[in-house]
Amino acid sequence: MGKLKAHELRGKKKEELLEQLLKLKEELSHLRVAKVTGGAASKLSKIHVVRKSIARVLTVINQTQKENLRKFYRNKKYKPKDLRPKKTRAIRRALTKSEKNVKSRKEMRKMALWPKRKFAVKA
């Protein structure tokens, strides 16, 4: 098997990808046996290509799975933590806009009794 291209893999179904993954893992095991028994140099250099191909297939599987989960949870109220925006710890714990704008009864009374003074400033 030659080097796989990720864009070619994206068009395939999950079953086809899993089948391809099994073939690649089988090929890798044969190449490792050849390495131990003293196989040709061409087989030894092919180990690298097969390992990277396995990684590509797994990456495509995981990316499509995550993409489907994002579609599923798009308009839901709660999302799994790995689908939420990362941001920073401080931003995630900060008050929301509505929580910031909530005023207590005492604060409302103060605002009504002593409104902010307006000054006429000469330009």
pLDDT value of residue 123: 73
Structure tokens at 12: 């395939």
Mean pLDDT of 48-58: 96
Higher pLDDT, 38 or 81: 81
pLDDT value of residue 121: 87
- At residue 94, does pLDDT exceed 90? yes
Mean pLDDT of 27-46: 88
Question: What is the distance between the alpha carbons of residues 6 and 73, in angstroms, rounded to a whole number?
Answer: 26
- What b/e string do you get for 51-63 counting C-beta neighbours within 10 Å, with b at 16 or more? eebbebbeebbee
pLDDT value of residue 90: 97
CA dist 102 to 91, 105, 110, Å? Answer: 19, 10, 14
